[in-house]
């Protein structure tokens, strides 16, 4: 069974077996576990999905937690009124030495005035890279997340006593699906943690008299969207990548308390039924990050025959194996492997690749759109980056060997790519010209007035 079939099956199973019928404090508790359960279900069927791999930096976490406590207290004690809240994506990109959230910061640059907005930033594993764009408007929320963990550790037994029937029912359903359940303790702690966060942000939004909440990837912004909807605040989700079909994030049941009021797309991309929202609520505002990049240039020194290899956590072994074969077949080319930001290349592969003269691991902290400016040749399987490369008129190939299985947004998109079924096929891309293929762009020009109109 492939990933698409697995996701269709589990999405149907969740609904038919009442996973979303269990409410705690008027919230469907399974939402808090859906991603983890789906990842575990895929793994049970031999399919590795994306794992958010990171190590906590406890020194940085302590520092950011103290900073967070101070800034939150100042915000709570102030008489500020904030129209717009931006929930920053936890992973930031480095562009010309400055870190930014490529989904929200460029929009803020174009639409906001100081004092009208605030950015809530949780960081990644306690780390907040500096220097940071719009630092003066950022409020670290690490403290409230740490506090929510402490609350869950102390009070989960009492929570279980109060919600025993609901927790037991959810536990049994998960156990029946996976032949192994999350422990009841984990279910209680995670649910309690989310409910605490939702209550806090509901209180904070009310105090600040917030009118709109923005953020990319609703799973990351779950507590913000739940809190906002509970008190009638409009929510907006920024598109953060392309989706080919069924996905862990969007497939299946749609909880209206979590689904945003509007999905802000960066282009006219099909299919538009795969983002877990009514297509009539999808508004193409274009991609503000492209506006930000127009005066940015790359300082990477790359040869015309060099190749950028786009990897993903789901296919690391296959991608590196294919790259190894290509490097042997084309010793005159250098291959720069670009890991996904959540991808960790094993020590075994790192040692193996270090012995190959023409394979390099690229710094994944450098923004990918900046890196793409230096390369004529880009290859990979299904990453959004391949479509981004097409948007920049690069020569882009999709790999079909060593277990790689390319997908396309639309059937006609196949004509825009080179199809590399064997190492020999790469030569067609290297010798080819981007003008040979139909141009394809997943991005539209940013429409500032349209966004202003939607917000009003």
Task: Show the tokens assigned to 101.
Answer: 């959230």
* Beta strands in 156-239, from DSSP E residues, in sequence order: 212-216, 234-238
263, with CB counted inside 10 A (0-12, 13-18, 19+), is buried
pLDDT at 367 (0 to 100): 87
pLDDT at 373 (0 to 100): 87
Q: How far apart are CA 287 and CA 371, in angstroms?
A: 18
State pLDDT tens for residues 367-416: 899 889 889 999 999 999 999 999 999 999 999 999 999 999 999 999 99
State pLDDT tens for residues 44-91: 988 877 655 556 778 888 999 999 999 999 999 998 899 999 999 988
Please state the pTM of the whole predicted model: 0.90
pLDDT at 269 (0 to 100): 84
- Residue 113, C-beta contacts closer than 8 angstroms, at least 6 positions apart: none
Q: What mean pLDDT value characterizes the chain?
A: 93
**What percent of the chain is predicted at pLDDT more than 70?**
97
* Beta strands in 82-169, from DSSP E residues, in sequence order: 84-87, 93-95, 98-100, 117-121, 138-140
Residue 344 has pLDDT above 90, yes or no: no
Q: Are 22 and 29 in contact (CB under 8 A)?
A: yes
Residue 34 phi, psi (nearest 5): -55, -45
Q: How far apart are CA 344 and CA 321, in angstroms?
A: 15
Look-up: residue for tokens 């795969």? 274
Nearest in space to 22 (alpha carbons), one of 10, 31, 13 = 31
Residue 437 has pLDDT above 80, yes or no: yes
Residue 94 has pLDDT above 60, yes or no: yes
Nearest in space to 41 (alpha carbons), one of 87, 5, 69, 65 = 5
Q: How far apart are CA 232 and CA 230, in angstroms?
A: 6
**What percent of the chain is predicted at pLDDT more than 90?**
80
pLDDT at 51 (0 to 100): 55
Residue 299 has pLDDT above 70, yes or no: no
Average pLDDT score over residue span 167-189: 93
Residue 295 has pLDDT above 80, yes or no: no
Residue 20 has pLDDT above 80, yes or no: yes
Residue 9 phi, psi (nearest 5): -65, -50
- Tell me the pLDDT band of 181, cut-offs 50, 70 and 90: confident
Residues pairing with 282 in the sheet: 263
pLDDT at 180 (0 to 100): 81
pLDDT at 294 (0 to 100): 84
């Amino acid at each position: 069974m492939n990933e698409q079939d697995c996701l269709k099956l589990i999405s149907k199973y969740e609904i038919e077996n009442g996973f979303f019928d269990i409410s705690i404090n008027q919230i469907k508790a399974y939402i808090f576990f859906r991603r983890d359960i789906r990842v575990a279900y895929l793994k049970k069927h031999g399919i590795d999905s994306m794992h958010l791999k990171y190590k906590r930096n406890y020194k940085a976490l302590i520092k950011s937690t103290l900073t967070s406590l101070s800034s939150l207290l100042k915000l709570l004690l102030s008489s500020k009124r904030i129209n717009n809240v931006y929930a920053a994506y936890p992973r930031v990109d480095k562009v010309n030495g400055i870190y930014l959230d490529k989904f929200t910061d460029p929009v803020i640059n174009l639409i906001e005035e100081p004092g009208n907005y605030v950015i809530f930033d949780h960081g990644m594993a306690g780390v907040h890279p500096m220097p940071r764009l719009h630092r003066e408007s950022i409020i670290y929320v690490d403290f409230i997340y740490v506090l929510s963990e402490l609350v869950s550790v102390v009070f989960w037994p009492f929570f279980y006593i109060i919600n025993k029937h609901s927790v037991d029912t959810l536990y049994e359903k998960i156990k029946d699906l996976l032949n192994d359940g999350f422990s009841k303790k984990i279910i209680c702690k995670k649910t309690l943690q989310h409910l605490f966060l939702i209550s806090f942000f509901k209180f904070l939004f009310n105090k600040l008299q917030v009118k709109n909440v923005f953020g990319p990837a609703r799973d990351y912004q779950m507590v913000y969207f739940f809190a906002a909807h509970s008190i009638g605040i409009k929510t907006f989700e920024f598109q953060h990548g392309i989706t080919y079909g069924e996905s862990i994030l969007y497939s299946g049941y749609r909880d209206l308390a979590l689904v945003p009021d509007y999905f802000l797309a960066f282009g006219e991309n099909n299919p538009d039924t795969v983002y877990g929202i009514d297509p009539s609520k999808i508004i193409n505002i274009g991609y503000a990050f492209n506006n930000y990049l127009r005066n940015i240039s790359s300082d990477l020194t790359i040869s015309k025959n060099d190749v950028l290899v786009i990897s993903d956590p789901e296919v690391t072994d296959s991608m590196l194996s294919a790259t190894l074969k290509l490097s042997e077949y084309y010793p005159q080319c250098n291959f720069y492997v670009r890991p996904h930001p959540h991808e960790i290349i094993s020590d075994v592969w790192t040692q193996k690749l270090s012995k190959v003269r023409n394979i390099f691991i690229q710094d994944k902290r450098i923004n990918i759109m900046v890196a793409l400016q230096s390369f004529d040749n880009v290859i990979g399987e299904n990453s959004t980056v391949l479509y981004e490369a097409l948007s920049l008129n690069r020569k882009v190939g999709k790999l079909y060997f060593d277990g790689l299985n390319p997908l396309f947004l639309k059937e006609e998109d196949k004509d825009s790519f080179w199809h590399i079924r064997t190492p020999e096929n790469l030569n067609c891309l290297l010798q080819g010209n981007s003008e040979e293929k139909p141009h394809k762009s997943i991005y539209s020009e940013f429409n500032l007035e349209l966004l202003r109109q939607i917000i009003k």
